[in-house]
Chains A and B, each alone.
Chain A
């Protein structure tokens, strides 16, 4: 597609429920990033993929968070046993260069997760 797409756009989960958030990057982009954006804050890095390899997951807040990109295209961010503090907008971004420092990131519209 023309841009990064994410689904669902909105997700309401009960505390303890598992959720899966999907990201479709721009076609051909090798790099994919997940961010968490709390209300009134800037995005905070969660994890980074280069093709199917997860090269950096230092931003994942706990082992309840898991991301995958098995074929180097679509990515899924999974959150197990959701907690209220997981409520945020989850943003996906993709980039065309191998080294993220020499290219820019294009963001999807985000998934707003609300945990009750």
Chain B
């Protein structure tokens, strides 16, 4: 199945640093979601975006729905050790019910 291009694949950062990751698609999407997945658990929803250009924050997390509707990014400010995990974007195209997921960004925070 189709998967979105998500980058970077992995990140190793110092505690307190800011993080940025993004997701791109060749198709136009109506919805972008960002999830965090810990080992052995299901993805947990972080932020949902429904309109092109929308910028939404959730605590230290900020995500934007790209103007072209083909991309989205997630920023994490002032990272802390519990931010460690795998972050996935997911998008819903114009037609259909199927959410497509990115390949994930593995985040490691070094205390």
Chain A positions within 8 Å of B, measured between CB atoms, are 4, 6, 31, 33, 35, 40-45, 48, 55-56, 58-59, 91, 93, 100-102, 104-110, 112
Contacts and interface: CB of A to CB of B under 8 A. Distances in A.
Contacts of A110: 41-42
A65 to B, nearest CB: 14
A48 B79 CA distance: 36
Nearest to A4: B42
B42 A108 contact: yes
Nearest to A3: B42
A98 B101 CA distance: 21
Interface of B: 1, 3-4, 6, 30-31, 33, 35, 40-45, 48, 50, 88, 90, 92, 96-104
B48 A104 contact: yes
30 contacts: A4-B42, A31-B97, A33-B99, A35-B101, A40-B104, A41-B3, A41-B103, A42-B3, A42-B90, A42-B101, A44-B1, A44-B3, A44-B101, A45-B98, A45-B100, A48-B97, A48-B98, A55-B97, A56-B98, A93-B42, A100-B97, A101-B31, A101-B92, A101-B97, A102-B31, A102-B50, A106-B45, A107-B45, A109-B40, A110-B42
A48 B97 CA distance: 8
Given A91-B43, A104-B48, A43 B101 contact: yes
Contacts of A101: 30-31, 92, 97
A107 to B, nearest CB: 4
Q: Looking at A43, A44, A45, which has the most chain B CB atoms within 10 Å of its CB?
A: A43
A34 to B, nearest CB: 11
Contacts of B103: 41-42
B86 to A, nearest CB: 9
B42 A45 contact: no
Nearest to A92: B42
B104 A42 contact: yes
